[in-house]
Amino acid sequence: MSRRCPRCKTVYSADARFCPKDGSPLVDMEGQDVPAASAGNAMDGSKTVARKIIPKSGASLDRAANLVDEVLDNRYRVNGRLGEGGMSFVYEATDVHTGKQLAIKVLSPKLSRDSNSIQRLRREAGLAMRLKHPNVCRIMRLGETEDGLIYLVMPYLRGELLSDREGRAGQMTPDEGLPYMIQCCAGLHYAHRQNIIHRDLKPENIMLVREKDGSDTAVIMDFGLAKQRQADPSMAKLTATGIILGTPEFMSPEQIRGKSIDARSDVYALGIVAFEMFTARLPFEGRSPQEMMIARLRGKPTPLRKFRSEFPKKLEAVLMRSMATEPGDRFPTALEFGRALINAYEGPNAGHLHSFLQ
């Protein structure tokens, strides 16, 4: 079986895990990772490692992939498939009781038989159900069909993934991109105040939702790798083997080392997201994900103005601080990161940006 990079679309052999061009985790060709521009990014391209497989149900992969026109639990009518990833299928559905349009993420049966995947999904739902903020995609319900298909119910978001916007329109100006970064700071700060960190922030996990007035709102999605700061014993078991969860090109140095992480790791990841958004490049270079990881552990990010000489120096300084190797050298909170971005911005909409952090 071949594998494909979901970002550059290059196909590799089955034993490859990451794209050497951009560090993206590869996906199996039979489960291609198609971004769902309207589904709240219910896909999950991250990896977990199974320790013990426990058969749980008789649901098949074909059934999970072909739910159109079915009604789940006598409530959610599945209208169409929006996309799929290595761990899930994403559908657009209607709540037959309320008529509300929803997005449903169905866990692949081959993973639902893995107790670790189930534990991780239940944790995702339990944490995300607590998050109610305009810049965070909440999970409304965790359900399970009679034949064992596990699914998450989420709002149906109309818009475009940040990764798709970057691929379509290229690098953004500060005027275009800063509102999205400030909104992400607001959503992250809210989650951090609930003692939850995202842990896998990347452009594929940020939806630009189209509002009625034509503006876009950045919404952070997929807290599938979210983790409470005070990890309980069951959480500790999930990382006891040293498995690192996250996307290689956006991981903080402490996450690469397998150390404890906090809100400053999300600040670091958001700094890389901003760097890529403004330059269409990553701040650390390498011929493989491993080389890029080593660069983050040993070196400093490439100055943003090397790629865009016209970029404001004050904004560059803020972004460089957010990507500092040592957590203590970064902004301690996403709120302070957002405020620093606003204070360094001298554009016409600076005053309006403050409203996103209130």
Interhelix angle 263-279/313-322, rounded to 10 degrees, is 140
Largest distance between two CA atoms of the chain: 59
62 is catalytic: no
Instruction: At 173, list the tokens.
Output: 């100006």
**140 CB-contact burial (10 Å; exposed 0-12 / middle 13-18 / buried 19+):** middle
d(CA 184, CA 35): 20
d(CA 79, CA 208): 23
Q: Which of 200, 216, 222, 266 is catalytic?
A: 200
Q: How many CA atoms lie within 13 A of 32 on its CB side?
A: 14
The answer to whether the beta carbons of residues 217 and 134 sit under 8 Å apart is yes
Contacts of 178 (CB under 8 A, 6+ apart): 341, 342, 345, 347, 353
d(CA 38, CA 49): 29
d(CA 171, CA 61): 38
Instruction: At 73, list the tokens.
Output: 């639990």
List the catalytic residues: 200
